[in-house]
Structure 1
Amino acid sequence: MRTIAYFLVITLICCLAPSADLSAQLNEPAPIRLRNASFEDIPRNSRAPVGWYNCGFPAETPPDVHPDPMNQFQVGMGPQHGRTYLGMVVRDNDTWESVGQELSEPLVAGQCYDFWINLARSKVYLSQSRVSNKPANYVTPAKLRIHAGYDFCDRQELIGESDMVRNYNWQEYAIKLSPTEDYTHLVFEVFYETPTLIPYNGNLLLDNASTLIPSPCEEVVAVNSPLVNDDQKEPISTDPVPGPVVVTQPTTKSGDPQPDPEPQVQLGQSKQVLAVDAVFEVPDITFVANESELTPESSASLQEIVDFLTIYDNVIIEIGGHASQKATADFANRVSMRRAGSVVEYLRTRGIDPRRMFPKGYGKSKPVCYDESADCKRRNQRVDVKVLKIE
């Protein structure tokens, strides 16, 4: 009898005692996703991609979104993921390029993070020497350094860096990030081989960065460095062999995985979950009176739609045109359809696949106001974007 009672007491203690593993899971920091981690944008020179801020030297040009649209630099390498990638250079005048962004949530002081990113260098990256003012090929190997801080381009601490990137094909590099404070921003910069005695011209290509995964600081993250021929000191071309990425999910109090929150997307005046039937109102898209011709003042808002469709390249949308309540029903239907078509045509000329866009004229069937003011007329003569499908 005494044995049975002892057994029941031990069982009760074990059941009521909190699980060490569960406590660790509940206190574990969440993974941190980067905005536009694949550097998707319209290919263009001297402009940081959407979601990233130029952190370079004031008198120098910003980084480039490749493949090189004008063949100015003759960088013809294809992307590792998506449609575009980022190109940055170091220069012989001791300047280098960098980009930064605000994190979706702060880093945790003393917590390490595993991070993966695809890196390469281009065999050709033509530009001009800042020292000699003569044409130069920015081809010398460089590396990626990652800083953390409390504002855009703030470099409070170097929290990680890659090996020298000598490979001409995409390779996945793993970097252990080790912040000592709760930083809110990151800076990615290309940098020289250290120690640097004389600045040189080099390039670095970046694509498909991973989420920041919390990990123990004592673990060593192996870097996928390319093989190098000791005689030639040039990379031997190998196919990338990405290692497994283990994502630690947040958990509920019951220990079950907690689903990721739905991402909020900003387009125009609307911020909401990206889902089928979501409608985004985009202001300041205007037309010549009683016509379907876009005005120059519309360019900024139209560019917002271009950026949205570039980043979310799996989304199919409807461009909805709306007309004033003062127009006749027949005219309102015709002009709203033509205006929606003009927007689709504009987006097509900016590289958006027309198969992803469908114009629709709503006439004056969906007003947002009914008074006689000029402001109400402007609000009713609007263009909105509706998500039809997410592939």
Structure 2
Amino acid sequence: MFTLVLSIVTAQETIKLNNPSFEDTPRAGGLGFSIPIRGWHDCARAVYPDQSPPDIHPHPEAWMVSVDAQNGNTFLGMVVRDNESHEFISQALEVPLKGGQCYSFSIFLAQSETYMGVRNGSAAVTNAQAQALDTSVFSSPFMKPAVLRIWGGRSICSKGELLGVSAPVTNRDWKEYQFKFEPDSSLRYITLEAFYVTPVLSAYNGHILLDQASAIVQLACDEELPPVVVPPAEVVVVLVPPEKPKVDAPPPPPKPEQPVEEIAEDPKPVILTDLDREKIVAGQKIRVKSLYFRADSSRIRPESYPVLDEIQRFLIKNPDVIVEIGGHTSTGPSHAFCDALSEARAKAVTEYLLENGVEMAQLSYKGYGKRYPIVRDDQKDYKSARKKNQRVEIKVLSLDGD
């Protein structure tokens, strides 16, 4: 006689990050490079435009970092500075975190024995200056401890909910830091931020090294994370955001499982209705609505991120679609100014898409200046005409491998 025992197992949702081991060409942020690491958006560039971006190690000519990669060939270095600027990166999640659910996440962190940084405003440093540690561009070592703060948000670089904070990172060897995320709402983006050890009286120079981030895995909220196996003297303690005040009341009943449809549903309305796989054809041009730049600048304003993320998701989902990003200006300024501005804006959009995982083979960009206005700049309605002519368009170059 046999007894059949049925075991019901709830599938764990696993959310993989794009480029979790920070693999890219090694480069120091101050050595003439402005493109951030593949798959990640450099959030600090918009907040601190005069500062250098995060560094991709190991780099033989810069910063004197004494650590090898934990996984793969390269890893990331982020700093905090005594001028109150600091570095943070972000990316879109392939599946949003769900409010009321719990998740596990881990990442390897370390601190180098030495870490030289660039002085304020020295965003471009030559190789010769780096090799000689030229004191005119290099500041004192960035050797004070920093922490890693992990945020979730509804847009790129958003700090909507603090999901976890590490202990001050002082270990010279790589250690795996583990976190338990308990979001209150749906979060579509993750942000990794180097920050000061608090409380602090004044800003200082410090750094952390990051490598081999894990996938984000859903777990039962009453499940404890496994202990980190490290020598007793080097135990890594993970700090979590302050808990909400507890009241002496029985726990609420478990929330009913959300339908699968709600996970995939985008609560925001579609902005570019013409950007539809069933509608587009080669040669078609689609005006990018809800895209805004600073006046006479190629700096993208944060309220533009939703439409850019919509384009990013479409291109990642349709890798055979190849497009050109075209910039256009109003007809007022000179041709030289309009050509430069339109190209810079088209390039900025292209870089944003590349930074967020779109393949380079799918993208090209071009500035058309003021050569193709939609309407004439009529003096009676100049502002309206200027808004219509000043635009960015997506041109479908090919699809289905054509």
Q: TM-score, normalised by structure 1?
A: 0.52
Unpaired stretches in structure 1, ≥5 consecutive residues: 1-10, 230-234, 239-265, 274-279, 285-299, 313-377, 385-391
In 1, Cα distance between equivalents of 2:139 and 2:198: 25
- Structure 1 residues 123 and 176: alpha-carbon distance in aligned structure 2, compared to 1, 3 A threshold: same
Q: Which residue of 2 aligns with 1:53?
A: 41
Q: Which residue of 2 aligns with 1:96?
A: 86
SS of residue matched to 1:43 = coil
- Higher relative contact order at CA 8 Å, sep ≥6: structure 1 or structure 2? 2
Alpha carbons 2:66, 2:113 under 8 Å: kept: no
In 1, Cα distance between equivalents of 2:75 and 2:94: 21
**Which of 207, 224, 230 pairs up with 2:228?**
224
Report the CA distance between 1:197 and its aligned residue: 2.1
Matches within 5 A, 1:116-131: 116-130=106-120
Matches within 5 A, 1:323-342: none
**Which of 7, 15, 27 pairs up with 1:32?**
15
Q: Which residue of 2 aligns with 1:146?
A: 150
Q: Which residue of 2 aligns with 1:166?
A: 170
Any idea what the Cα deviations from partners look like across 1:341-378, whole Å, max 9, x if unmatched? xxxxxxxxxxxxxxxxxxxxxxxxxxxxxxxxxxxxx9
Report the CA distance between 1:71 and its aligned residue: 1.7
CA RMSD of aligned residues (A): 4.2
Structure 1 residue 176 and structure 2 residue 180: aligned?
Answer: yes
Report the CA distance between 1:79 and its aligned residue: 0.6
Letter in 1 for 2:56: V
Matches within 5 A, 1:13-92: 22=8, 25=9, 30-46=13-29, 47-56=35-44, 57-59=47-49, 60-68=51-59, 70-92=60-82
Alpha carbons 1:118, 1:206 under 8 Å: kept: yes
Report the CA distance between 1:117 and its aligned residue: 1.0
SS of residue matched to 1:126 = coil
Q: Which residue of 2 aligns with 1:111?
A: 101
Moved more, 73-82 or 152-161: 73-82
Residue identity (%): 36
Report the CA distance between 1:136 and its aligned residue: 1.0
SS of residue matched to 1:110 = coil
In 2, Cα distance between equivalents of 1:61 and 1:100: 16
Alpha carbons 1:171, 1:225 under 8 Å: kept: no
Letter in 2 for 1:194: T
**Which of 205, 208, 213 pairs up with 1:209?**
213
Letter in 2 for 1:63: P
Report the CA distance between 1:282 and its aligned residue: 8.4
- Structure 1 residues 220 and 168: alpha-carbon distance in aligned structure 2, compared to 1, 3 A threshold: same
In 2, Cα distance between equivalents of 1:227 and 1:129: 37
Matches within 5 A, 1:190-339: 190-221=194-225, 224=228
Alpha carbons 1:100, 1:186 under 8 Å: kept: yes
Report the CA distance between 1:221 and its aligned residue: 2.6
Alpha carbons 1:114, 1:213 under 8 Å: kept: yes
- Structure 1 residues 222 and 54: alpha-carbon distance in aligned structure 2, compared to 1, 3 A threshold: same
In 1, Cα distance between equivalents of 2:142 and 2:175: 20
Any idea what the Cα deviations from partners look like across 1:146-165, whole Å, max 9, x if unmatched? 00001110110101122221
In 1, Cα distance between equivalents of 2:107 and 2:149: 12
Once superposed, which parts of structure 1, at least 4 consecutive aligned residues long, lie more than 6 Å away?
131-134, 269-273, 280-284
Letter in 1 for 2:37: P
Report the CA distance between 1:116 and its aligned residue: 1.3
In 1, Cα distance between equivalents of 2:316 and 2:217: 30
Report the CA distance between 1:135 and its aligned residue: 2.1
Report the CA distance between 1:270 and its aligned residue: 9.3
Report the CA distance between 1:281 and its aligned residue: 9.7
SS of residue matched to 1:105 = strand
Alpha carbons 2:12, 2:219 under 8 Å: kept: no
Any idea what the Cα deviations from partners look like across 1:73-100, whole Å, max 9, x if unmatched? 1124211111111110111112211110
Report the CA distance between 1:283 and its aligned residue: 9.3
In 2, Cα distance between equivalents of 1:129 and 1:218: 47
In 1, Cα distance between equivalents of 2:159 and 2:166: 17
Report the CA distance between 1:198 and its aligned residue: 1.9
Any idea what the Cα deviations from partners look like across 1:175-196, whole Å, max 9, x if unmatched? 1111111100000011111222
Report the CA distance between 1:224 and its aligned residue: 3.4
- Structure 1 residues 216 and 35: alpha-carbon distance in aligned structure 2, compared to 1, 3 A threshold: same
In 2, Cα distance between equivalents of 1:91 and 1:175: 25
Q: TM-score, normalised by structure 2?
A: 0.50
Unpaired stretches in structure 2, ≥5 consecutive residues: 30-34, 122-135, 237-311, 325-346, 360-396
Report the CA distance between 1:128 and its aligned residue: 3.7
SS of residue matched to 2:72 = coil
- Structure 1 residues 226 and 120: alpha-carbon distance in aligned structure 2, compared to 1, 3 A threshold: farther
Letter in 2 for 1:149: G
- Structure 1 residues 51 and 128: alpha-carbon distance in aligned structure 2, compared to 1, 3 A threshold: closer
Any idea what the Cα deviations from partners look like across 1:113-142, whole Å, max 9, x if unmatched? 111111111111101454998621011111
In 2, Cα distance between equivalents of 1:104 and 1:128: 35
- Structure 1 residues 98 and 270: alpha-carbon distance in aligned structure 2, compared to 1, 3 A threshold: closer
- Structure 1 residues 222 and 193: alpha-carbon distance in aligned structure 2, compared to 1, 3 A threshold: farther
In 1, Cα distance between equivalents of 2:12 and 2:316: 30
In 1, Cα distance between equivalents of 2:63 and 2:26: 13
Alpha carbons 1:88, 1:205 under 8 Å: kept: yes
- Structure 1 residues 144 and 216: alpha-carbon distance in aligned structure 2, compared to 1, 3 A threshold: same
